[in-house]
Amino acid sequence: MADALTAKGRATRDRIVGGAAEALREQGVSFTTLDDIRARTGTSKSQLFHYFPGGKDELLLAVARFEADRVLEDQQPHLGRLDSWESWQQWRDLVVERYELQGDHCPLGALFLQVGRSSTGARAIVTELMRQWQEQLARGVRALQAGGLVATSLDVERTAAALLAGIQGGVTIMMSTGDSTHLKAALDTGIDHLRDHGSVR
């Protein structure tokens, strides 16, 4: 549907998704109705169903994709230039800050609970988010290798996967306890692991 839209149509659809994301963040998924979203975005009922014929579930999936993209965007510019120890530390601090500000409210998690985490669409969004996130971490490890800061013998993909798993585990615990200690430990241990594999000059 989105691929077949005109530029004006894409802009309208994006406006609806962005407005819906704001409403869902403020009011929560369970308490936000399509009427709330229509009022927020200045959209008629026929217009809303034109862009999202599947109704609220289809719109929620679009918002979930939007929120997934924000997860990576919020880590920029540091995630995109992990080529020094300083940049890794800046990225680490940004990740901690993002999740501490978010607290126990995860818009993406709430959306997946609503549409069903095991649904085909939701699973595809999560899979793509994790793929892109791990890919950018792997690119950062390779940048350290290229700069002679990390040994080329280090398994890049395995290291990136472990970092990502540590972040996700730390965030899950933080959302349950309100304590970011485990998230910080996972990030610090992951970066220490990279430093321990520094190239011998």
CA distance 14 to 101: 25
Length of the chain measured in residues: 201
Q: What is the pLDDT along the chain (201 residues), one digit of tens a residue?
A: 555 678 888 898 999 999 999 888 888 887 888 899 999 888 989 999 999 998 888 898 999 999 999 999 999 999 999 999 999 999 999 999 999 988 777 777 777 777 766 678 888 988 899 999 999 999 999 999 999 999 999 999 999 999 999 999 999 899 889 999 999 999 999 999 999 988 644
Burial string for 133-163 (b: 16+ CB within 10 Å, else e) reads bbebbbbbbbbbbeeebbeeebebeebbebb
pTM: 0.85
Of the candidates 158, 161, 185, 189, the residue with the CA atom closest to the CA atom of residue 171: 185
CA distance 89 to 17: 33
Residue 126, CA distances (Å) to 179, 184, 189 in order:
24, 23, 25
CA distance 94 to 78: 8
Alpha-carbon radius of gyration of the chain = 19
Of the candidates 134, 139, 129, 142, the residue with the CA atom closest to the CA atom of residue 66: 129
Structure tokens at 123: 């699973």
Burial string for 9-21 (b: 16+ CB within 10 Å, else e) reads eeebbeebbebbb
- Beta carbons of 7 and 25 less than 8 angstroms apart: no
- Beta carbons of 49 and 56 less than 8 angstroms apart: no
- Beta carbons of 16 and 66 less than 8 angstroms apart: no
